[in-house]
Amino acid sequence: MEVTRRVEPLWRRKGAVFALIAGCVFGALGSAGGLTEAKAQEPRQIPSSAAEVQLSFAPVVKSVSPAVVNVYANRKVVRQRRVSPLFNDPFFKRFFGELGQGMGQPQERVESSLGSGVIISEDGTVITNYHVIENADEVRVALADRREFDAEIVLKDERTDLAVLKIVNDGPFESVPFAPADSLEVGDIVLALGNPFGVGQTVTQGIVSALARTQVGVTDYQFFIQTDAAINPGNSGGALVDMQGRLVGINSAIYSRSGGSNGIGFAIPAQMAQFVASAAGHGDRVKRPWLGASVQLVNAEIAEALSLDRPKGVLVTKVYPGSPADRSGLEVSDLVVAVDGKEVTDPNSFGYRFATRPMGGTTDFTIVRGSKERHLEISMEAAPETTARDMRVIKGYSPFAGTTVMNLSPAVSEELRLTETFEGVVISKVERGSTAARVGLKVGDIIRAVNEVGVESTRDLENISNRSQRLWALDIERGGKINRIVLRG
């Protein structure tokens, strides 16, 4: 997205006003205190301490920097070298045979990426961004004191763009404590620590420009802290801390046309990082609470129809039978305005508030039904696997060759980020270069029918795929719409 109109920064416009107000206030205080002109003209004293010279963030930096690490991620890439057809000619083989030997053999090389991370416990647990260590075969971390250690990838969560690492060493290590949830306010001073452009650990300072940014488009859970502290490539996964040296966010993205900092950086709230970290060691994926209901944005038109003074909350559009939402008494057309007392303004903020609540126990929903406000207790539990997924790899000569398919259930739908769909057969993987890939099938496609025959299980699809047919008519559901694909065998 490009910005074509130059907008003067707000702080510059306010700065003059602040200076004027400050001058008036201090002038009034001077008069009230009976300051004489001679008193005001007394010679200034030489500062006697560092505190009298300047305000410094050094104490905060000293407490935090030992826990901010550089993350080096390496992955091995095997590529097939292209060989000129001339080397297959007998004449060239006779004279250049030795040169041609091995020219077509696969070659392995190592690709590296650099990011930052934060140690959150003295045992060496590190939080970083998923995109920093995505597809990595080896991960190393370097501390501020230049010590380096190997690290294990404990958990990767693409949906939040977060990952948990564990330093392969007994420690103990310096760590950064989490700030209390929702303790940050717009205007608070924050520090961003990381390794921008690989130049080494760097500290930048700024303020919190906004909270709960929900239109960033980086993760599934759109709820970001916006700051003007300089964040650049290499800062990803680094710490955003408050003036008490507490972790308030994980630096994740920037808004830029050039690739450098333009004063608009985004950090994942520490509450989400804490939720993901708590899931480490309990399986290979993050288990999230399942509501079993769908919601939509309340726009001005809907707000007017509901006799609201302004658009707020989210409107319930569907409740899945037997789900936590259903058992709590949540109904279609209910307006959810708060989760555990925290206001929700759109589906993104609602999703974040609900997804970061701890598993087990209950969470309080404030809803408006009719014209009355009510409270419902929602059970915090994982989505159930009501039907065994029965994962199968489809082979042979059918259009589905090269796919991995599973039976749908609330658990599978949650993993694949599907909504309102809990029955049928879904594609969970498509091999690159396979028949299915050439046909255009994608992860998340739901196979509803083949040649007018309904597909209810992975066994059904496997049996159909093993048949020899000249014509294939596929009914594929994607994004809530069913599309027909017709192919000749």
Instruction: Establish whether 236 is an annotated binding residue.
Output: yes
Q: Structure tokens of 46?
A: 């030489």
Name the pairing type of β-strands 446-450 and 471-478. antiparallel
For 358-391, b where at least 16 C-beta lie within 10 A, e where not — what string? eeeeebebbbbeeeeeeebebbbbebeeebebee
282 tagged catalytic: no
Kind and range of the H or E element at 185? Answer: none
Q: Which of 116, 157, 161, 334 is catalytic?
A: 161
236 tagged catalytic: yes
How far, in Å, are 29, 54, 88, 373 from residue 47 at the CA level? 23, 10, 83, 60
Residue type, 326: D
Alpha-carbon gap, residue 441 to 435, rounded angstroms:
9
Q: Which of 113, 116, 131, 445 is catalytic?
A: 131
Instruction: Establish whether 131 is an annotated binding residue.
Output: yes
Query: For residues 205, 211, 215 and 217, what is the CA-based torsion angle, rounded to 10 degrees?
Result: 50
In 3D space, the residue among 135, 122, 10, 26 whose CA is nearest the CA of residue 67 turns out to be 122
Kind and range of the H or E element at 458? Answer: helix 458-465
Which pairs with CB-CB distance under 8 Å and at least 24 residues apart come from 201-208? Answer: 201/65, 201/68, 201/70, 201/144, 203/57, 203/61, 203/65, 204/229, 204/230, 204/231, 205/57, 205/229, 206/230, 206/263, 206/265, 208/184
Instruction: Establish whether 235 is an annotated binding residue.
Output: yes
Residue 58 DSSP class: H
Instruction: Establish whether 188 is an annotated binding residue.
Output: no
Residue type, 158: E
In 3D space, the residue among 460, 439, 435 whose CA is nearest the CA of residue 449 turns out to be 460
Q: Give the three-state DSSP class for 39.
A: helix
131 tagged catalytic: yes
Instruction: Establish whether 340 is an annotated binding residue.
Output: no
For 322-341, b where at least 16 C-beta lie within 10 A, e where not — what string? ebbbeebebeeebbbbbbee
Q: Which of 113, 236, 349, 413 is catalytic?
A: 236
Alpha-carbon gap, residue 316 to 147, rounded angstroms:
52
Provide DSSP, 314-375.
Answer: EEEEEE-TTSHHHHHT--TT-EEEEETTEE--SHHHHHHHHHTSPSSSEEEEEEEETTEEEE
Yes or no: say if 296 and 333 are a contact pair by the CB < 8 Å rule: no
Catalytic residues: 131, 161, 236
Feature table: binding site for substrate: 131, 161, 234-236
Feature table: binding site: 131, 161, 234-236
